[in-house]
Amino acid sequence: MNNKVEDIQMEEVPDKRPLLFGLGFGILFGFLLHKGGATKYDVIVGQLLLTDFTVLKIMLSAVVNGMIGIYFMKPMGWIQLSLKKGSVGKNVLGAFIFGFGFAVLSYCPGTI
């Protein structure tokens, strides 16, 4: 009998840390949205009626934090950005559907 050991190629196990970081930051972001009032019906309706700008402040602070994060993480090699082609027509259609659903339901899609 030939007891030759065959070379078994082990599959590389993908690193799960980015997913866990994403889950943790998602939970934290959802908690902060709730604490900021973005889950309250009256706040969402006030935003749509242009009388309460709480949601706008929350969204702008999230955009600024994202910009700062990308600015510092890109040189460190933690993220890689790549431009993708887009379509103005598809974006306008998607924005219309998004906005219509937002206005009809009066729920923030991020917190629904």
Apex CA 87: angle with CA 91 and CA 79, to 5°?
85
Angle of helix 41-48 relative to helix 54-76, nearest 10 degrees, comes to 90
For residue 10, what pLDDT is reported? 60
Give the pLDDT of residue 59. Answer: 85
Q: Report the distance separating Cα 22 and Cα 84, nearest Å.
A: 22
Mind listing the pLDDT tens digit of every residue in the chain (112 residues)? Answer: 555 555 555 667 778 888 898 899 889 988 888 888 888 888 888 888 899 898 888 889 889 998 999 999 889 888 888 888 888 999 999 989 888 887 787 766 666 6
The one-letter amino acid code at 108 reads: C
Q: What backbone torsions phi and psi does residue 92 show, to the nearest 5 degrees?
A: -65, -45
The reported pLDDT for the residue numbered 36 is 83
Token representation of residue 66: 């994202």
What pLDDT does 4 receive? Answer: 52
Dist CA 97 CA 43 (whole Å):
21
The confidence score (pLDDT) of residue 68 equals 95
User: How crowded is residue 44: how many other Cβ atoms within 10 Å of its Cβ?
Assistant: 23
